[in-house]
């Protein structure tokens, strides 16, 4: 059974969110990274970009596939992880330690629509 971090919220499209006040840090789950394979390219929007929940928030490419990254919550991008853009393989080493974007939340109630770790573990197992 998977063992995803319990301090995060998860989306059905395999992104994770960690919230600190009104700031959300977003990444992609180990499940997604495992299924994509060795990462070779990452692109994310610039700071100041306003995203709505469900918007495409970047692209990840591996040696075998490309995947859009969807934002599970809406907000304004405050930072993107330049280290991951420069070296996408960091995601293969530590999906939960390699954040992708930081956002100022526009509607914190959107977090209620995301899964906790236990629910996501079950969802992941059903995939």
Q: In 10 A of CB 80, how many CB atoms?
A: 22
Q: Are 98 and 39 in contact (CB under 8 A)?
A: no
Of 2.40.50.100, 3.40.50.2000, 3.30.420.40, 3.40.50.300, which CATH number belongs to 9-104? 2.40.50.100
Q: In 10 A of CB 66, how many CB atoms?
A: 11
Q: What is the dihedral of CA 107, 116, 124, 89, to 10 degrees?
A: 70
pLDDT in tens, 37-91: 999 999 999 999 999 999 999 999 999 899 999 999 999 999 999 999 999 999 9
- Which are the contacts of 74, defined by CB distance < 8 A and separation ≥ 6? 50, 51, 52, 53, 55, 103, 105, 106, 107, 110
Q: What is the pLDDT of residue 2?
A: 58
Supply the DSSP symbol for 68: E
- Which are the contacts of 112, defined by CB distance < 8 A and separation ≥ 6? none
Q: Judge whether residue 33 has pLDDT over 90.
A: yes
Domain ranges in the chain?
9-104
Q: Judge whether residue 3 has pLDDT over 80.
A: no
Q: Considering just the CA atoms, what is the radius of gyration of the chain in Å?
A: 13
Q: What does pTM read for this prediction?
A: 0.94
Mean pLDDT of all residues belonging to the chain: 95
Q: Judge whether residue 1 has pLDDT over 80.
A: no
């Amino acid at each position: 059974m998977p063992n995803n971090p319990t301090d995060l919220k998860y989306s059905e499209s395999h992104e994770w969110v960690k919230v600190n006040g009104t700031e959300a840090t977003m990444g992609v789950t180990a499940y997604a990274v495992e299924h994509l394979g060795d990462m070779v390219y990452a692109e994310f929007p610039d700071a100041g970009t306003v995203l709505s929940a469900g918007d495409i928030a970047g692209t990840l490419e591996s040696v075998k596939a490309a995947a859009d990254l969807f934002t599970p919550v809406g907000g304004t991008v405050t930072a993107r992880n330049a280290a991951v853009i420069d070296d996408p393989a960091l995601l293969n080493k530590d999906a939960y330690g390699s954040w992708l974007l930081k956002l100022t939340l526009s509607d914190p109630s959107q977090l209620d629509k995301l899964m906790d770790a236990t629910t996501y573990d079950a969802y992941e197992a059903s995939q």
